[in-house]
Amino acid sequence: MSDLNALEQSPSAVPSKRWSKKKTAALIVGAVLVAGSFAGGLFIGIDSVDPRESAEYQSLTDSNEVLQGERDDVQSELDDLEGGIATRESAVEERTTQLDERSTGLDEREEELGSQDKEITAREKAVGKIEVEQAENSVENGVWTVGTDIKAGTYRTKEPVGSDCYWAVLKTGTNGSDIVNNGIPGGGRPTVSVKKGQDFESTRCGTWVKQ
């Protein structure tokens, strides 16, 4: 008990719980200096490293160059394709122009042929009409009654006759006994006129055509 009392009475035996202002200030200044030194060293260490010299940066740079090269290749292929397309389009346009010109020429030719067909048809009709008229107005070998078998008028041989050609104009109903006119031309293209009430006889004279 005496020892406890002795400790309570001695001020140097129990440490003081309070720091002096000077000690506190010194402690704060030291801490700040230490922290600043550490931070400064850290910043200096960071500033001294160039990120462009890192392996990661170099790898990215290499990859970018490869991609750029691939992009250039693709662009070159695209340019070639566009050039080929332009060439083909030009060829198609030229071929289309040629086909249009041929189509126009065919249309014109078709019109010409259509015109020619019309002309041919018209000529055929005209020739056919002439042939029909000639057939209706032609007389072959035989005896024909004017007004019944043939038309009245003047007839001429279609071709020159031979020396054995004989023709005669007879009075109708006389059975050839009443001869109005006759002839043996012996050549050339003889002409004979007949009228109603008469018969016309032709022997070896070929075809007679009404004039």
Placement of tokens 């249309």 in the chain: 107
Domain end residue (candidates: 79, 109, 136) = 136
Q: Is residue 183 part of a domain?
A: yes
Per-residue pLDDT of the chain in tens (211 residues, 90 and over written 9): 444 444 444 444 444 445 455 555 555 655 544 455 445 444 444 455 777 888 888 888 888 889 888 899 999 988 888 888 989 988 998 999 999 899 898 999 988 888 888 889 888 888 888 878 878 899 999 999 999 999 999 999 999 999 999 999 999 999 989 999 999 999 999 999 999 999 999 999 999 999 9
In this structure, are 121 and 174 located in the same domain? Answer: no
Q: Is 210 exposed, middle or buried (0-12, 13-18, 19+ CB in 10 A)?
A: middle
State whether residue 118 is helix, strand or coil: helix
| Sheet architecture: strand order including 191-194 | 138-139, 208-210, 153-157, 191-194
Domain end residue (candidates: 136, 166, 184) = 136
Other CB atoms within a 10 A radius of the CB of residue 169 amount to 19
Q: Is residue 106 part of a domain?
A: yes
81: part of which helix (H) or strand (E)? helix 55-136
In this structure, are 149 and 90 located in the same domain? Answer: no
Q: Is residue 74 part of a domain?
A: yes
Return the structure tokens found at 191: 């002409």
In this structure, are 192 and 173 located in the same domain? Answer: yes
Q: Is residue 94 part of a domain?
A: yes
Angstrom distance (rounded) from CA 190 to CA 11: 189
Domain end residue (candidates: 108, 136, 164) = 136
In this structure, are 106 and 157 located in the same domain? Answer: no
pLDDT at 53: 84
Angle at 193 between CA 192 and CA 199, to 5 degrees: 95
Q: Is residue 19 part of a domain?
A: no
In this structure, are 121 and 149 located in the same domain? Answer: no
187 Cβ contact list (under 8 Å, min separation 6): 160, 161, 162, 163
The boundaries of the domain holding residue 182 are 139-210
Angstrom distance (rounded) from CA 186 to CA 203: 12
In this structure, are 132 and 151 located in the same domain? Answer: no
Q: Is residue 5 part of a domain?
A: no
Q: Is residue 12 part of a domain?
A: no
Claim: this prediction has a pTM higher than 0.85: no
In this structure, are 91 and 144 located in the same domain? Answer: no
Angstrom distance (rounded) from CA 110 to CA 108: 5
In this structure, are 145 and 201 located in the same domain? Answer: yes
In this structure, are 120 and 177 located in the same domain? Answer: no
Q: Is residue 43 part of a domain?
A: no
In this structure, are 145 and 206 located in the same domain? Answer: yes
Strand segments (E) across 50-105: none
Angstrom distance (rounded) from CA 76 to CA 98: 33
Looking at the structure of the chain, the number of domains it has is: 2
